[in-house]
Amino acid sequence: MQDQLDYLAKRAGAGKLSRRDFMGKASALGVSAAAASTMFASAAYADGPKKGGDLKIGSTGGESTNSLDPATWASQVPYHNGRQFGDTLVEVSPTGEIEPRLATSVESTPDAKTWMFKLRQGVEFHNGKTMTGDDVLKTMERHSNEDSKSGALGVMKNIESMKVDGDTFSITLKDANADLPYLMSDYHLVIQPGGGMDNPAAGIGTGPYKMEVNEPGVRHMYSKHANYWGDDAHFDSVEILAINDATARTAALQSGQVQLINRLEPKIAGLLARAPGVSVQSTPGRGHYVFIMHTDTAPFDNNELRLALKYAINREEMVEKILRGYGSVGNDMPINAAYPLFDSSIEQRTYDIDKAKEHYAKSGHDGSPIILRTADGAFPGAVDAAQLFQQSAAAAGIPLEIKREPNDGYWSEVWNVQPFCASYWGGRPVQDQMYSTAYLSSADWNDTNFNNPEFDAKLIEAKAELDVTKRKALYSEMGMLVRDQGGLICPMFNDFIDGVSDKLVGWDVDPNGELMNGQVTRKLWFA
Amino acid sequence: MHPILKLVSQRLALGLLLLLAASALIFVGTQILPGDVAQSILGQSATPEALANLREELGLSEPALSRYFSWLGSAIQGDLGVALTNGQDIATSMGRRLGNTLFLAFWAAVISVPLAIFLGLLAVRYKDRWPDKLISGVTLASISIPEFLIGYVLMYFVGVKLGWAPSVAMINDSMSLGEKLHAIALPVTVLTLVVLAHMMRMTRAAILNVMQSAYIETAELKGLSSFQVIARHAFPNAIAPIVNVVMLNLAYLVVGVVVVEVVFVYPGMGQYLVDHVAKRDVPVVQACGLVFAAVYICLNMVADIVSILANPRLRHPK
């Protein structure tokens, strides 16, 4: 049997046997699926990555309105574009550590107020120029100056001053932040020649692939950058096709027109997993689907009512019916086990009709229907989720009235405007950033209007705390405050569900983002 | 002046007036929609500062009326401006999309129009017999099924299962004509199925109407075969209504195929317009609206002129 297995492994390593075929044949020999999977991976890795091939990715979230200006990026195709032609100073590894990219090392002063990034030397832009400290400085200035419209403006606000000294780029903060390197891994912060001040949408960076064709909303074509500084990125060319329709995307993967797709619909994922030639990769992430209440608007200014609603939602049912199991239950705080320093000992809140009734009675709500606004665009399945919520709340005697809003204009007219609505968060690499973005009383996107001085104080304390144990304790207390007093009802964390052709090798679980945090084009190769 | 020329120039002038009205309506429409381009670009990540900065940069702080007239001023001089969202030149990017849409519409028309007319003639020839019923049944069924469903079904069986044609109809400039035609095989099939019934039924009805006339009886009496009667005597007299419905369907093929474009990820005008409406990118929406309106107006004009030319009584008015 061992001989046969060796033979199979060799064939798999030579790319002559797909993962699926290998698994099937290995299990016929009596090998367990898990063991076969490991064997396949080691066989495929044995000869190291193979160079070459043209990779095609079918991605949702591509519009004709997309720009190559990193400051404007908000959807998936621009995000993946940035990963091809661009590079950030640092990146977050699958296990949550800071890893070098254009900066080779990061150091801080003991008070976590000044941060020094040592810049990689001899890095070449696609236009042939060599990257300098000035390019880095100008890039960061463009994202943080007063007339910036950058999506990263929020993470840059705390910066007091920046300077370049030889090959060191340093940032001085107004308030200490032990997580600053994580902020600098933001996908908008792609280093551009001259900071992109003259031509922000030129699409020139230091990334592994050089832009060849830019047709927004249709396709983006890249070829391997000959003078790329890294030793990964194995494809000759990469093409990102904007395929927004989920069925078309799935069909394109199945018919072999593309080798990778993102955002599989949970209801399709189960079926696709059984199709030949492709596999479904489900990665637990930090994104979560939520119902948010404005804690300063009646009737949600009453914590008893908020608690009643939190006990009246059936989280397991939502994960099962909305996510079809591709996700995990939430605990009314925006943090889960995918975050570093997560306290797993916090008790899981469950659907409890008695407690919901008790809190509802204490709240003294007059019994008028509570209006919950939702739209298909709030998150996939948001309308169905609202209906499930309505039913589970009705069982506890809490009347919810669902108001369905149009997708168009949802983020400008409903979210952050109406007191109770469905929404989603993509998550952030670290707890501090998540809380600072959406739960600090002065945050721009404080979409629950959460105003808790104790919470704010702990958040600021944790920022400057370099002792990991103490920070973990602080984060745990903050999580409890949001969970028990906040306006967030978080029923579920969704997985990233990607579809991958069996022709590709090297897949790794990366909770930082879809398609391995956008690094598929660097880390995968054709078998 | 020749009455036809006069008619054409009248129609052209009227068309221009209609275009102007359409542009005003589109502008008002985009103003009524909730949110503006700045909010749409920044989406959920909009902060008040970023919003204000972007509005200033895009010139949205000016009053709506002056924005409309400054747009109109440059549009009349042929300058459609640049997209607010990504700064691309509208004429260039829209031109490419329009070319793709016309390419798809052209091939769909080349197949569907002759086929529909031929099937219509065939149905008349075998009126109330099984070929007539079969043709009517099949075409009516295909028009009744939503086009996206036909698209998905073809995509699954022809694209994924059989692998005869690509399921995603993406074309680009580096492809040869043959490759492009292969790429659009499925959307052309769907569009043909969708427009076939309408044109076929109209042909059948119009010719049957003419078939009641006395001169058809004469033609039959002088011994022409029934297909010759239809093709030589009935068809020329039924041409006006047929051209009308053909033109309507051609207009549909250009301006109404957004669903098919989305399903097959075809880089045409429909998807381009929808993306920009969603982002409230007014200059692009205006430009697309004008092109669509112009296509409709032109095709209708052609239909009118052809029916006049086809009818001697209208051709030589007293």
Segment A259-281 mean pLDDT:
91
Least confident of A182-191, B28-37, B246-255: B28-37
Nearest CA in chain A to B183: A257
- For B86, which of A66, A412, A423 is closest by C-beta distance? A66
Which pair of tokens denotes residue A199?
């031509």
Using the predicted structure, report yes or no on whether residue A16 has a pLDDT greater than 70. no
Least confident of A412-416, A448-452, B128-132, B195-199: A412-416
Give residue limits of the domains in chain B: 104-280
A74-77 — which CB contacts under 8 Å span 24+ positions?
Answer: A74/A151, A74/B41, A74/B42, A74/B43, A74/B44, A74/B45, A75/B43, A76/A262, A76/A263, A76/A514, A77/A220, A77/A240, A77/A242
Spatial contact of A507 and A516, defined as CB atoms under 8 Å apart:
yes
Quote the mean pLDDT of chain B.
Answer: 86
| Residue A15 Rama label (left phi>0; alpha psi -120 to 50; beta) | left
Contact B168 A248 (CB under 8 A): yes
Q: What is the pLDDT of residue A210?
A: 96
Q: What is the pLDDT of residues A411-470, one digit of tens each?
A: 778 888 899 999 999 888 889 989 988 899 988 789 999 999 999 999 999 988 888 899
Q: pLDDT: is A38 or A447 the higher one?
A: A447
State which amino acid sits at residue B91.
A
Contact B155 A248 (CB under 8 A): yes
Angle, alpha carbons A56-A58-A60 (nearest 5°): 155
With a pLDDT cut of 70, the percent of chain B lying above it is: 97
Instruction: Compute the count of residue pairs across chains A and B with CB atoms less than 8 Å apart.
Output: 146
Spatial contact of A117 and A98, defined as CB atoms under 8 Å apart:
no
- Rounded to whole angstroms, how far apart are CA atoms A310 and A284? 23
Q: What is the pLDDT of residue A7?
A: 67
Spatial contact of A216 and A62, defined as CB atoms under 8 Å apart:
yes
Q: What is the pLDDT of residue A23?
A: 67
Q: How confident is the model at residue A45 (pLDDT cuts 50, 70, 90)?
A: low
Nearest CA in chain A to B271: A64
Residue A93 phi, psi (nearest 5): -75, 165
Give the DSSP H or E segment for A525: strand A525-526
Q: What is the pLDDT of residues B6-24, one digit of tens each?
A: 878 888 898 889 989 988 9
Residues in contact with B149: Cβ distance below 8 Å, sequence separation at least 6, in sequence order: none
Contacting B residues, span 179-208, partner chain A, CB-CB under 8 Å = none
Q: What is the pLDDT of residue A351?
A: 95
Using the predicted structure, report yes or no on whether residue B153 has a pLDDT greater than 60. yes
DSSP codes of every residue in A336-369: -TTSTT--TTSPPP---HHHHHHHHHHHT---PP
Least confident of A76-85, A233-242, B45-54, B172-181: B45-54
A15–B contact, CB cutoff 8 A: no
A442–B contact, CB cutoff 8 A: no
Which pair of tokens denotes residue A433?
């950033």
Match 């919003």 to its residue by tokens: B51
Using the predicted structure, report yes or no on whether residue A35 has a pLDDT greater than 80. no
Which pair of tokens denotes residue A236?
């000759």
A130–B contact, CB cutoff 8 A: no
Segment A498-513 mean pLDDT:
92
Query: Which of B31, B167, B182, B271 should one mutate to test binding to chain A, selecting the residue with the greatest count of A CBs within 10 A?
Result: B167
Using the predicted structure, report yes or no on whether residue A36 has a pLDDT greater than 70. no
Contact B279 A63 (CB under 8 A): yes
Nearest CA in chain B to A68: B86
Whether residue A78 has a cis bond before it, omega within 30° of 0: no
Using the predicted structure, report yes or no on whether residue A34 has a pLDDT greater than 70. no
Q: What is the pLDDT of residue A130?
A: 95
- Rounded to whole angstroms, how far apart are CA atoms B55 and B213? 67
Q: ipTM, 2 decimals?
A: 0.81
Using the predicted structure, report yes or no on whether residue A40 has a pLDDT greater than 70. no
Contact A247 B44 (CB under 8 A): no
Specify burial of residue A135 (Cβ count, 10 A radius: 0-12, 13-18, 19+).
Answer: buried
Contacting B residues, span 255-314, partner chain A, CB-CB under 8 Å = 262-265, 267, 271-272, 275-276, 278-279, 281
- CA-wise closest residue to A172 among A140, A134, A197: A140
Query: Which of A60, A67, A412 should one mutate to test binding to chain B, selecting the residue with the greatest count of B CBs within 10 A?
Result: A412
How many Cβ atoms from other residues are within 10 Å of residue A12's Cβ?
A: 27
Give the DSSP H or E segment for A35: helix A33-46
Q: How confident is the model at residue A300 (pLDDT cuts 50, 70, 90)?
A: very high
Domain B104-280: top CATH class: mainly alpha
Q: What is the pLDDT of residue A491?
A: 95
Using the predicted structure, report yes or no on whether residue A13 has a pLDDT greater than 70. no
SS3 A254: helix
Q: What is the pLDDT of residue A260?
A: 96
CA distances from B216 to B117, B212, B220, B238 (A): 19, 7, 6, 12
Which pair of tokens denotes residue A487?
């306006």
Give the DSSP H or E segment for A473: helix A468-485
Q: What is the pLDDT of residue B31?
A: 82
Segment A179-204 mean pLDDT:
92
Q: What is the pLDDT of residues A46-75, one digit of tens each?
A: 677 899 999 999 999 888 888 999 988 888
State which amino acid sits at residue A67.
S
Contacting B residues, span 130-159, partner chain A, CB-CB under 8 Å = 152, 155-156, 159
Least confident of A40-44, A238-242, A279-283, B44-48: A40-44
Q: How confident is the model at residue A103 (pLDDT cuts 50, 70, 90)?
A: very high
State which amino acid sits at residue A486.
G
Residues in contact with A170: Cβ distance below 8 Å, sequence separation at least 6, in sequence order: A114, A115, A116, A117, A162, A163, A164
Least confident of A221-225, A452-456, B205-209: B205-209
Q: How confident is the model at residue A403 (pLDDT cuts 50, 70, 90)?
A: very high
3-class SS string, chain B: CCHHHHHHHHHHHHHHHHHHHHHHHHHHHHHHCCCCHHHHHHHHHCCHHHHHHHHHHHCCCCCHHHHHHHHHHHHHCCCCCECCCCCCEHHHHHHHHHHHHHHHHHHHHHHHHHHHHHHHHHHHHCCCCHHHHHHHHHHHHHHHCCHHHHHHHHHHHHHHHHCCCCCCCCCCCCCCHHHHHHHCHHHHHHHHHHHHHHHHHHHHHHHHHHHCCHHHHHHHHCCCCHHHHHHHHHHHHCHHHHHHHHHHHHHHHHHCCHHHHHHCCCCCHHHHHHHHHHCCCHHHHHHHHHHHHHHHHHHHHHHHHHHHHHCHHHHCCC
Q: What is the pLDDT of residue A444?
A: 75
Using the predicted structure, report yes or no on whether residue B281 has a pLDDT greater than 80. yes
Residues in A touching B49 (Cβ below 8 Å): 146, 148, 153
Q: How confident is the model at residue A270 (pLDDT cuts 50, 70, 90)?
A: confident
CA distances from B106 to A37, A483, B103, B252 (A): 50, 60, 5, 12
Using the predicted structure, report yes or no on whether residue A316 has a pLDDT greater than 70. yes
**Is the sign of the CA dihedral A191, A192, A198, A203 positive or negative?**
negative
- Rounded to whole angstroms, how far apart are CA atoms A439 and A486? 9
As beta bridge partners, residue A421 has A292, A373
Specify burial of residue B87 (Cβ count, 10 A radius: 0-12, 13-18, 19+).
Answer: middle
Using the predicted structure, report yes or no on whether residue A119 has a pLDDT greater than 90. yes
Q: What is the pLDDT of residue B297?
A: 87
Which pair of tokens denotes residue A10?
């060799």
- Rounded to whole angstroms, how far apart are CA atoms B231 and B225? 10
Q: How confident is the model at residue B99 (pLDDT cuts 50, 70, 90)?
A: very high
Q: What is the pLDDT of residue A22?
A: 67
- Rounded to whole angstroms, how far apart are CA atoms B23 and B297? 14
DSSP codes of every residue in A173-185: ESS--TTHHHHTT
Query: Which of A148, A188, A218 should one mutate to test binding to chain B, selecting the residue with the greatest count of B CBs within 10 A?
Result: A218
